[in-house]
Structure 1
Amino acid sequence: MDIRLGLTFDDVLLVPGPSDVLPGEVDVGTRLTRDITLSIPLLSAAMDTVTEADLAIAMAQAGGIGVLHRNNSIAEQAEMVRQVKKFEAGMVVNPVTMYPDQTLADALDLMARHKISGIPVVERASGPGPKPLVGIVTNRDVRFATDPTQPISELMTREGLVTVPAGVDRETAKRLFHRHRIEKLLVVDEDFRCIGLITVKDMEK
């Protein structure tokens, strides 16, 4: 019986040929549309098992693009777009906020709806735009609270808030996370208005 040679991919090794071109000199950018150019030629599929907000953000950070699926309601699609657009270089721009007179029930609802574990608390000031920061409420603050009508002002952390200005560099943010043993940095402007939020998870992405 004549048994012929059979090979699998694991049995074969292709030896790279020599090249004078260094990896850093290679441009793999590609044009997606007339006006959109990607740094890498990768695009994630618009499938509900593939691309939602988290992957769209990760693809953008890598230089590609993620196409959000639409196998959900218009409101849910808009929320995914909002999450992606608010993510900026590790910082959530104009994060979800609460007012001190809102309740524990409101906080739990926002945390569940937006899949977040901490919410900046701001003054109920009039007019559009960012509001002055007065505290932050996190999972630790509400973990053992039982009265859904209890105001956030009685639960939130007021003292020792760790804040940074917009444009803080990653190394400084990491040092603050380590020094204060916290998972969230509040980004404020010159008037101490909350304009962003940096989390440990965002820094690790």
Structure 2
Amino acid sequence: MAQNGGARDYRDGWAAADIFGREFSYTYDDIIMHPGYIDFPADVVDLSSQLSKNITLRTPCVSSPMDTVTETSMAVAMAAVGGIGFVHYNNSAEEQANMVKNAKSQRVGFVSEPVCLRPSATVSEIDSLKARKGFSSVLITEDGTLNSKLLGIVTSRDIDFVSDRKTEVAEVMTTDLVTATAGTSFEDASAVLIKSKKSLLPLVDDNGEVVELLCRTDLKRRSTYPKLGAPSLGKDGKLLVGAAVGTRESDRQRLGLLVEAGVNVVILDSAQGNSIYQKEMISYAKKAHPDIDVIGGNVASSHQARNLIEVGVDGLRVGMGSGSICTTQEVCAVGRGQATAVYQTARMANVVGIPVIADGGISNSGHIVKALTLGASTVMMGSFLAGTEEAPGDYFYQDGRRLKAYRGMGSLEAQAKGSDTRYLGDKSQMRIAQGVSGTVADKGSVLRLVPFTMHAVKQGFQDLGLQSISAARGALSCGNITMEVRTGAAQIEGGVHGLVSYEKKRF
């Protein structure tokens, strides 16, 4: 088109509808957003958003229901930072329900499942514990379990100079204890611990049985963390906790146990959610447990999403084959670039009020910004949270690096424990891997990682001129957020380059 004396009219950026209306499938890295106008500080950006129809989160972050990502500790930590964790179901129904129950009963700041040993345990057992867990302070109780009478405490000071490591801990434990009453507030318990100059403060009930534990090392570390803000709480006043279930007949019983345990929301966990099995499970869950929100998926297109919305789903999990340990696209030739999947699915779902969880492909804060501005309400993270202190598993060292195991739920190792139902493998004679197993580096605590990451996301929204996720939704639909597709060279230019060596720190 010629204008102004024949000068050609060039567009300085494109709306999402123009970008994603083409025949290409784009990942987050393929897209770059154009900056907007800044007239507000980053601190005022509101990232609160809907997880599902009836649940709002202050922090739009969700931990993935993977057996190397979310169990009790992760669920508690995610709720503490304003998000939510979904407990995996690669276990028995009773084990999963207990994880949910334990998470909902915990209080932020306390250790609800401290390590306990019997008086007859040996010093060598504490040595083994230190090698696996990284600490050597333990509680000694009558039967070596929680909710048993407290007898003493063993710290490194008690065993440093014990030459015979077969010595029973009863001979070396400290019995001059300072305790607090169960239910004592975090602030009051902290004051008692600091004044006592002890390393541990057990909280005990009227019978002297251990209920919780407060650690001096945790207090010191927490003082260096950002302020957490309000935790995610349900209508019952307890922490919000989610869980995953499959679509087998036995999962109906599992769902019932989870509801009894107090679960607030469930995800139907399938690699390809557009199936008769998932539709039947959604219908059953909504009828049998109408007070529990049900999130369906995974899906990657609007027609898949529409099928689940029609049977009453309360939220959608979007992403197929985009996770770092997922090989679905390679093995099965199905899936979609995650940026395209999020945009196309959310464009339809948001019109009818169904929130979208962008699941997969999140490696940095920029990916979170892109997911939320392309229509997602929250982001689900697996590898991003794997390797944190709250993730399941023990740390180990390899070539001088502190690592944890991380595996896809489509890996043969995970399928052998029961996740094959996610890939409909329990209906087949053979298991085919759709994921891999590997290791990830130590990332520290979720209580530090997520708040810093969210501040980076707020800075991204500030650069875009957006004060909230709802503002992003409106700007996206009006075409006021402009973007472009990056070439491979542009992607290289947008990252660290031209250095002989460097150390990349998140914060």
Q: TM-score, normalised by structure 1?
A: 0.66
Give distance in 2, aligned partners of 1:12 and 1:37: 27
Q: 1:154 aligns with which of 163, 171, 191?
A: 171
Partner of 1:196: 212
1:16 aligns to what?
A: 40
Q: 1:133 to 1:60 in 2, by over 3 A?
A: same
Match in the other structure for 1:3: none
CA–CA separation in structure 2 for the residues paired with 1:13 and 1:176: 50
Instruction: From 85, 88, 95, give the equivalent of 2:107.
Output: 88
- The match for 1:60 is 79
Distance 1:129 1:148 in 2: 24
Structure 2 letter corresponding to 1:107: I
Residue of structure 1 in register with 2:158 after alignment: 141
**Structure number with higher relative contact order (C-alpha < 8 Å, ≥ 6 residues apart):** 2
Give the superposition deviation at 1:12.
Answer: 9.0
- Map of 2:259 onto structure 1: none
| 1:57 Cα deviation from its structure 2 partner | 4.4
Size of the alignment, in residue pairs?
182
Kept in 2, the 8 Å contact 1:94–1:130? The answer is no
Structure 1 CA distance for aligned equivalents of residues 215 and 77 of structure 2: 15
Other-structure match for 1:101: 120
Q: Is the 2:76–2:108 contact (alpha carbons within 8 Å) kept by the matching residues of 1?
A: no
When the two chains are superposed, the root-mean-square deviation of aligned CA atoms in Å is: 4.1
Is the Cα contact below 8 Å between 1:40 and 1:62 reproduced in 2?
Answer: yes
Residues 1:114 and 1:35: Cα distance change in structure 2 (over 3 Å): farther
1:30 partnered with 2:70: no
Whole-angstrom CA distance in 2 between matches of 1:95 and 1:197? 7
Counterpart position of 1:131? 148
- The answer to whether the Cα contact below 8 Å between 2:146 and 2:210 also exists between their aligned partners in 1 is no
Task: Tell me the residue number matched to 2:318.
Answer: none
Residue of structure 2 in register with 1:117 after alignment? 136
Q: 1:134-166 CA deviation, whole Å, 9 max, x = no partner? A: 10011221222221210001111111x110112
Counterparts of 2:54 and 2:69 in 1: how far apart (Å)?
25
* Equivalent pair of 2:48/2:56 in contact (CA under 8 Å): no
- Quick one: percent identity of the two aligned structures? 31
User: Structure 1, unaligned stretches of length 5 or more?
Assistant: 1-10, 18-22
Paired amino acid for 1:169: S
Secondary structure at the counterpart of residue 116 of structure 2: coil
* Matched position secondary structure for 1:92: coil
1:123–1:31 CA distance, 2 compared to 1 (3 A): same
Larger Rg over CA atoms: 2
What letter is aligned with 2:114? P
Unaligned segments of structure 2, at least 5 residues: 1-34, 223-446, 448-507
- Structure 2 distance, partners of 1:16, 1:155, is 60
Residues 69-101 of structure 1: CA distance to partner in whole angstroms, max 9, x if unpaired?
99xx98xxx8xx69x838532112242211111
Give the TM-score normalised by the residue count of structure 2: 0.30
Residues 104, 36 of structure 1: alpha-carbon distance in 2 compared, 3 angstrom cutoff: farther
**How many angstroms apart in 2 are the aligned matches of 1:93 and 1:49?**
20
Partner residue in 2 for 1:39: 58
**CA positional deviation for 1:29:** 4.0
